[in-house]
Chains A and B, each alone.
Chain A
Amino acid sequence: MTLPPFLRAAMGPLRIMMQDRLAVIGMCVLGVIIAMALFAPLLSTHDPRHINEIEDGSVLSRGAAGWELQESLGPLALNDAVHQDGISLIVGRGGMGWSREGAGAWSALDLPTGADLHAVALSPEGRAIAVGDGGVILLQDGANWQPVPAPEVNLRGVVWLDADSALMVGTNEDILLLDASSGELSAIDSPVGRDFPLQSVALDVDGTALIVGERGLAIRYDPEDGTAALEQLGSSRDLNHIHIDASGAALVVGERGTLLRRESADSAWSADPAPDTRALRAGWIGDDGSALAAGRNGLIMEWDGSEWAIAQTESERHLRALLVVGDEMLALGSDRFVTRLAPPSREHWFGTDHLGRDLFSQNVHGSQIALLVGFLGATLVVLIGTNVGLIAGYYRGRTETILMRTVDVMYGIPFEPFALILVLLFQPSLTIVILAVSLLTWRTVARLIRSQVLSLRERPFVKAARVAGASDLRIMYLHIFPNVLPLVFLELAIIVGVSIIAEATLSFLGLGPPQAISWGGILHDARLSGAWRTAWWWNLPPGIFIMTTVLSVFFISRSLEVVANPRLRARQ
């Protein structure tokens, strides 16, 4: 087998490196990380910049200390709940339904629809009805649920007027009356007729139904004469939910923290000052004057008899419904919410950060900048350092003095502060980061190469070349340079490690390449957000990645040292 001579020359050092087990491990690990950088878009499970949201059938329960997250009911949001005589029902998105008896476990209902269900109600006899998008009306018939044919309107609220008739409201100002025994639907004219969405309906103590909707719209339907009439509640904000207790106390909640309360059937509606102006989606009021309101981002407010106070919740979830059974209070949701600071899970292998971004993908993408700066910076450093060392060592005299004095000056400049000043004066960019990394580091390389060249230039083969009439350039680059090559590679390996750490350091201080995802940058975000003290999954991986990469490079450099310094060879 005939190999080209330069390949054969490379085989020797390679064999020496292969004998070092640590070097082989280093090469394998570095190979994996390089592959990770090259295939980052394929490997990452998410877009690293995308703010991830998930939907969840969230249940929060009122405990002694505050509202605590319970086990989820499925992956779909829960929209409404009802309780009567020990039976509780929940309906949610995607035709999801849950029921339980007493305080038992929730069991999923088998509902004959895939449409989003928005409201559920129980008749005095305990017959359930659920309504939702696309005109879906489900009527309970023993253990079965029967769909009722209906026009395609998006229904938002439902209430039983008596054992046989239910009133439902929809987003196009639809008001429908269902005769449950015959299955007949009749539309009732709204007094407004401007297609305002109606959101919720509740049965008042006098047997009429009160409907609320957008822009403070309130309509009272009287089943006696079958007419609907406008009513004033004293608000022009969008109203989302109404709850009326059997005692006559009532609560209406809406956008921008709207809270309308009625103490009894005879008293007037009054708007309560809210401690928070986020949207409220559900309200509940009891006969003892206590009341609850829930909204987006885990907002729950409690009425203590004199004012509304924000309750302690541990969740970011969007709440849509409240269910009160005796002493037990449940808040249900949740539409798509940002998965902030989620611990590692099957969906997010390394968890998420404070903006809900996937940390695994960020870490994978971080390898690109690290290796780019590492190798580019190191190449630049070695290029400058080797040439300066070669020229200084070969020419000696004044050239050497000037070059080596420059190196001395370089040794007077502290690295990190210099990089800081450079980056801050000239705006962070990839170029400046690489420059900051390489502008000072070449000093070591230049010194090492020069001392090697000083001894090489006195060797017979250099003298022979000179006698043979070789030019200075030829002697320097064709005769001396190959002899310092092992040292050059050794320095290259070490400086790759140094550059990676330097880039991570600058990024950690918030001075890295802007918009780029880097390991140091992830740690910068973690430190800045303050959440790093609890979110261990945020801190650990980037540091381990930096350490592993640099360590693998150092392992390789150790075996290169053996190549460069034969004295070490015999004794290892």
Chain B
Amino acid sequence: MTRRGYLIKRVLQAIFSLWIIATILFFLFRMGLPDPTAALVTEGLNAEQRAAVRAQFGLEEPLWRQYVLFLTNAVQGEFGTSFSYRAPVSEIVWERLANTMILMLAAIVLAYAIGVPLGAWLSWRRGSRTDTAGIFFGLMFRSAPMFWTGMIAILIFGVGLSLFPTSGMRTLPYDADGFFDKIFTLDFLWHAALPVLIVALYYLGSPLLIMRNTMLEVYGEDFIEMARAKGLPERDILYKHAARNALLPVVTQLAVTIGLAAGGQVVVEVVFSWPGLGREILNAVRTSDFPLAQASFLIMAAFVITLNLLVDILYTTLDPRVSFR
């Protein structure tokens, strides 16, 4: 199959996946919340507004018409008005998604920047006490629930030592024109330090262990023997010969991790009051803000699928051995 054919096929697959997810979501919501406006009558939605919402989502129409309306709206980016914010859903969702992505990407980059060299180094010291300790701590942070490590970090660094703020992205109140104005400040870095660290510690385990195990496999290969026979220093063998060839599985794992990054880590966002999309979904469903919950989830899924797609395409470019299946 040609490269272009492969690309077209993958894009079509992604669109298909998104359609299926949208369909599942639609029926899930209709099953769980037959009349989303009913839950909100007490919260100040008067009869008129209620009728408007019902008309917008076509709740009076037969189910298949509602479904078609839902899909049309979704394609056009029309997600209606949030019940609790009284503002268009799409504006809220895009901002929250950016907040989630900046947190997740920073954490993933940090985890891999530390994990990969550390894993290589551990494989070099294989069997030693350092190696065991490395495996132990890598797995330990992987096993500890993030909401707990987050709470402990807040207790130690936020409450105890008062080194870091414990909630939000910026010190309130603040003025910022747009997203980048908001994040390119020291204040933001200061706020992001703890949550990024907690998520990074969680992700650290997989690059560390994968790198270490692949390195161990690579050590058995002939070209390492060859390098040794040439009398190259161990350090050079480790970083120039072995590590480069052991990178592939780590990159695969990185691709999967980035692909799922948009899903975020709801609990970290909750514990650190990080205004991300995951926390927004939680709040939306708690307050029965059904347009917001539905749209947040759909956009999140769309982003996950797009990221998966991009990562896949990039991956085939990086490693030509991966056939265009």
Contact = CB atoms under 8 A, between A and B. Distances in A.
Interface of A: 22, 405, 408-409, 411-418, 420-422, 424-426, 497, 501, 504-505, 508-509, 520, 523, 526-527, 532-533, 536, 539-540, 542-543, 546-551, 554-555, 558, 567-568, 570-572
Contacts of A414: 260, 262-264, 278, 300-301, 304
Nearest to B136: A22
B301 A568 contact: no
Contact of A422 (B13, B28, B152, B271): B28
Nearest to B262: A414
Interface in B256-314: 259-260, 262-267, 270-271, 277-278, 281-282, 285-286, 293, 296-297, 300-301, 304-305, 308
Q: Which 7 A-B pairs rank lowest in CB-CB distance, beginning with the nearest?
A: A414-B263, A425-B32, A543-B148, A550-B143, A424-B285, A551-B143, A412-B305
Nearest to A416: B266
Contact of B301 (A408, A412, A543): A412
B248 interface: no
Contact of B270 (A422, A509, A572): A509
Q: Which label, helix, strand, loop or mixed, suits the secondary structure of the A interface?
A: helix
Given A420-B282, A509-B266, 13 more contacts: A415-B260, A415-B263, A416-B263, A420-B266, A505-B266, A509-B270, A527-B271, A539-B151, A543-B151, A546-B145, A547-B144, A555-B139, A572-B126
Interface string B140-153: 10111101110110
Contact of B220 (A417, A418, A526, A571): A571
Interface of B: 13-14, 16-18, 20-21, 28-29, 31-33, 126, 132, 135-136, 139-140, 142-145, 147-149, 151-152, 154-155, 159, 213, 216-217, 219-220, 259-260, 262-267, 270-271, 277-278, 281-282, 285-286, 293, 296-297, 300-301, 304-305, 308
Contacts of B144: 543, 546-547, 550
B146 to A, nearest CB: 8
B145 A508 contact: yes
A508 B147 contact: yes
Chain B CB within 10 Å, residue with most, of A412, A413, A420, A526? A412
A386 to B, nearest CB: 20
B278 A417 contact: yes
Contacts of B293: 421
A266 to B, nearest CB: 57
A543 B217 contact: no
Contacts of A420: 266, 281-282, 285
A540 B293 CA distance: 33
Contacts of B267: 416, 505, 508-509
30 contacts: A22-B132, A22-B135, A409-B20, A411-B17, A412-B14, A412-B18, A413-B304, A414-B260, A416-B263, A416-B278, A417-B300, A418-B297, A421-B285, A421-B297, A422-B28, A424-B32, A505-B267, A509-B266, A520-B147, A523-B151, A532-B155, A546-B144, A546-B145, A550-B142, A550-B143, A551-B140, A554-B143, A571-B217, A571-B219, A571-B220
Nearest to A534: B159
A413 B143 CA distance: 23
A298 to B, nearest CB: 25
Contact of B148 (A411, A424, A523, A571): A523
Contacts of A567: 217
- Point out which of B154, B262, B301 has the most chain A C-beta atoms below 10 A from its C-beta: B301
Contact of A520 (B135, B145, B149, B305): B145
Contacts of A540: 152
Contacts of A570: 220
A418 to B, nearest CB: 8
B32 A532 contact: no
A572 B135 CA distance: 13
A487 B266 CA distance: 30
B151 A411 contact: no
A411 B147 contact: no
Given A416-B278, A543-B145, A421 B28 contact: yes
Contact of A409 (B21, B33, B136, B270): B21
